[in-house]
Amino acid sequence: MCRSKGSASRWLAEIIVLCVAFRPSAAQTVLTTVPVGTEPCDVAINQVTNKIYVANCGSANLTVIDGSNNTTAIVQVGTNPIAVAVNPVTNKMYVANYGGTAGVPGNTVTVIDGLTNHTSMVATGNYPRAIAVNTVTNQIYVANEGSNTVTVIDGATNNTTTVSAGVYPKALAVNSVTNKIYVVNNGDAGFVPGTVTIIDGATNGTGTVAVGTGPEAIALNSVTNTIYVTNSGSNDVTVIDGSTDSTTFISLSGGPRDSAVAVNPVTNKIYIANGAYVTVIDGATKNAVPLAIGGSPFFPAVDTATNKVYVSNDSSGNVAMIDGTTNAITTISAGINPGPVAVNSVINTVYVAEEGSNDVTVMQGAMGADDFTVSANPSSATISAGHAATFTLATTPEGKFSSPISFSCSGLPSFANCIFSPVSLTPNTNTVTTTVTITTVGAAVLTTPRTAIFNPGSIFAFGLSLSFAGMVLLGRRERARVSRKTFLLTMTLLFGLGIVSCGGGGSGTPTTSGTHSPTPAGVSQVQITASAAASPSGSNGAVSHSTAVTLTVQ
């Protein structure tokens, strides 16, 4: 028995569907196709070692792909290996072997040493269906849908503990932060309401929360401590508050499929494949937006590094890539009946297991939008009027952004100015900086001096008068009757007249004729804007970003 894809009905309700244009893929390309075993039904990645593990339901083995060169190795496991989980801390892989036939082990978990590919077997309950790892406690949890139990494997010793669950447990998720495990109990094939068993990882004690009818899949956001369970029978999602175990429900346009939910904890968005749609739920507002994908969308996988979501479409032979920011959709050709998808966000590569063609398509993931960020240091400055404040403005490229960036200021106080050095930057692949200097004007007094005390023209006139008088009074010796007393009196009079003419009637003190207003005291929020015409790759048009600095003038 291999992984069931479910038989969710595709109901068309009266909904408003976000219109999205499909376009050929430009940023995503198929790098290669890697042959694997028969009917690959699950895929997991160890991003530390760059190894990809593909469980082959039909050939009782696991294909190990080396992500650096796409070479493969085959590891024998149990019958119907239906699920695989990775512990990147211990470099061990765990494969749930669903059932057995004569001569081949079944109802087991195969433990694989990632360094040597050596294996060991651990017994579980009947029909182990799903498996998950708590990387913090090194405990592995296996949902056994045939015995209504969960097998807990100690990763250090391979010793096991059995914990009771509900009816038909078929999916589980681990919150390593709270050390709680959530087990989806499907009930009676979707005809009765299901439950979620909550296991306390410290004590293995359990609790139960009621969910919708026919629960199929589960995912959680460890940041918000919120759990999402898709219910194919009641066409809705049960939202569990991890702190209180209280629940709310969100309606869907059609029944969700098995393994049909994924969470982006960075953006707090939830992606659910249901009917011919992928419904995007805002975790904060619980608003749901259905995106028309067409065909049979399945197995959403999130790349948190680029904010892209990859959804296989088994009836159309392609993969839909959803832009997490805009909800724009790009289709990428794949093999026959594409199924499970896994993303290596470290090297930005996507792996799609194709059950119909027994291979894995390796795709180059989408880059984030070409863009840049801007920041200022320090964020504030205090100066006196007439002085300047200096800031360092850093611009950091994102994606392949490498266009010239220019700068401007707004919100400056009166009589202030911004000076950039250099005036423009091209970031290429590195952070680059410019110096921003904000200048201000201090108080200034403009004066016009009065006539100087000793004016050169007056001194010349005075000397000429004095010389003439001397010649008149002393040059004629024959006028002896002019007395010395008369001469001195005349000279004193002329000297006094000369002083008056030199002073020009003024005191020599400067007079004020006007003043210039300074930059006023106060606090200003100065916006510094960095602008670029376009990104070279064309993924963005003109783009600008601003940062604010606080300028205090005393």
Q: State mean pLDDT over 97-109.
A: 75
Instruction: Please list, in sequence order, all residues whose beta carbon lies within 8 angstroms of the beta carbon of residue 362, skipping any fewer than 6 positions away.
Output: 30, 31, 32, 33, 34, 70, 349, 350, 351
CA distance 427 to 430: 6
pTM above 0.75, yes or no: no
Matching residue, tokens 């009676």: 188
Position 275 scores a pLDDT of 83
At 292, the pLDDT band (50, 70, 90 cuts) reads confident
Q: What is the pLDDT of residue 352?
A: 97
- Looking at residue 542, its pLDDT comes to 67
Higher pLDDT, 541 or 196: 196
Domains 22-364 and 371-443+517-553 share a fold: no
Mean pLDDT of 140-145: 96
Is 198:207 a contact under the CB 8 Å cutoff?
Answer: yes
**Token pair of 207 as six digits:** 């609790």
pLDDT one-digit tens code per residue, 430-463: 889 999 999 999 976 544 444 444 454 444 444 4
Cβ count within 10 A of residue 357 = 18
307: Cβ–Cβ under 8 A, 6 or more apart, which residues? 264, 266, 267, 323, 324, 325, 368
Beta partners for residue 331, in sequence order: 24, 320
- Fold designation for 22-364: Methylamine Dehydrogenase; Chain H (2.130.10)
Check if the beta carbon of residue 137 is closer than 8 Å to that of residue 175: no
Say if residue 503's pLDDT is above 50. Answer: no
Q: Coil, strand or helix: which one is 446?
A: strand
φ, ψ for residue 484 (rounded to 5)? -60, -35
Asked whether the predicted pLDDT for residue 111 surpasses 60, the reply is yes
pLDDT tens digits for range 236-262: 999 999 999 999 999 997 667 666 899
Mean pLDDT of 513-524: 80
Domain coordinates in residue numbering, the chain = 22-364, 371-443+517-553, 458-473+481-505
The CATH number for 371-443+517-553, chosen from 3.30.930.10, 2.40.50.140, 3.40.1380.10, 2.60.40.10, is 2.60.40.10
**Residues constituting the chain:** 554
Task: Please spell the DSSP secondary structure of 15-53, one letter per residue.
Answer: --PBP--EEE-SS-EEEEEEE-SSSEEEEEEETTTTEEE
